[in-house]
Structure 1
Amino acid sequence: MALYSKDKALICKVFPSSLGLVAMRWFDSLKTNSIDSFKELTQAFFSRFITCTRVPRLLDSLLSLSMREGETLKTYSDRYWEIYNEIDGNFDDVAISTFKSGLPTKHGLRKSLTGKPLTSLRQLMDRIDKYKRVEEDQQLGKGKTKVIP
């Protein structure tokens, strides 16, 4: 759309080509001559589709996150990174400390993060992956029955 921004009549004609199916249905349902300018068109569009905009999460949502009782490290980690990715800005240092503080005090990963502090998210993710593999191995071991010779 930026290519045509100087020519208002042309931008109104090109606008529909940028729409998806739902928005195109809305556009096609507009009454003839109900819109007089591109500004009106964008206002009508935004008022209709405002609910489709993404509102970034606040850093507070990470600070209050913790591992639930009975939750696996994988599930907690997935929840954590989903929320982290919805926060605008660079908070790598905060991410390391909040992930650690969200773990139960006796969790092996928390003890490891306390004993060997990390300096990057990559290191945190690598450490989490190691502990997730250990957790998965333990769960697989519990499911097997012991064979007594």
Structure 2
Amino acid sequence: MVLYQNNDAFMCKIFATTLQGEVQDWFHTLPPQSIRSFDDLSLVFTKEYSSYHSIKQKSDHLFNVKKNPQESLRDYVKRFKAEKAKIVECDNSIPNAAFQK
């Protein structure tokens, strides 16, 4: 990767391929064109997943995630997944029930 350290686009694409699970879901919720460089991506990632990250939510928090009237279904699903990613050891039955509600 040292050979490509000056190619931000390539570095970002390679980084994205290493993500799995909740982290990959989080990555796909980033607003389009919000990352301008690999340094930006590194900073956002570090803030999200550092040990100083805010306390995780409980699963009942998902029942408060409502679709805004002007929000597209696609944007709502992205936001819902981002909130679900904040929950530690979340059983799938609770997010499913919250999403259906």
Return the TM-score normalized by structure 2.
Answer: 0.45
Q: Which has the higher contact order (CA 8 A, sep 6+)?
A: 2
Q: TM-score, normalised by structure 1?
A: 0.32
Larger Rg: 1
